[in-house]
């Protein structure tokens, strides 16, 4: 699926609004912990992958469970939205691996009121 410039701008606006509404507390422990992908995993463009995280013990100040899943790293300038409207308390979400430049420096970012990222993974064409 190709995103138009307007849908990309809307996504960027929404992500920016979330970031401003819920400032990141660098002193707090990352929650939730991403359990998959694991360091060194190899993904292939076009395949489906399930991203999992430990959603137990959410912080007491969690007020918004809506999150985005982003792919960052490689030749991506910023991030690539893999999914939006993800319930952070669900613990898993399946995404389609985008067709990006092959590389071994990608990671998955779970982003909402709480933010965390996976270890580095490889994506092959």
Report residue 36's pLDDT band, with 50, 70 and 90 as the boundaries. Answer: very high
Averaged pLDDT for residues 23-51: 83
Q: pLDDT for 61-104, tens place per residue?
A: 899 999 999 999 987 777 799 999 999 999 999 999 999 999 99
**Residue 32 predicted with pLDDT over 70:** yes
Domain extents for the chain? 5-124
Averaged pLDDT for residues 108-117: 91
For 62-98, give the DSSP string.
Answer: ----EEEEEEEETT-SS-EEEEEEEETTS-EEEEEPP
Averaged pLDDT for residues 41-63: 95
The CATH number of 5-124, from 2.60.40.1260, 3.90.700.10, 2.60.40.10, 3.20.20.10, is 2.60.40.10
């Amino acid at each position: 699926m190709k995103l138009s410039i307007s849908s990309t701008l809307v996504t960027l606006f929404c992500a920016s609004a979330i970031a401003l509404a819920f400032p990141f507390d660098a002193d707090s422990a990352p929650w939730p912990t991403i359990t998959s992908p694991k360091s060194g995993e190899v993904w292939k463009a076009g395949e489906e992958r399930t991203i999992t995280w430990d959603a137990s013990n959410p912080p007491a100040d969690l007020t918004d469970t809506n999150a985005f899943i982003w792919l960052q790293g490689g030749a991506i300038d910023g991030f690539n939205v893999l999914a939006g409207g993800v319930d952070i308390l669900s613990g898993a979400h399946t995404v389609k691996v985008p067709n990006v430049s092959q590389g071994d420096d990608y990671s998955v970012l779970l982003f909402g009121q709480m933010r965390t990222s996976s270890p580095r993974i490889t994506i092959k064409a």
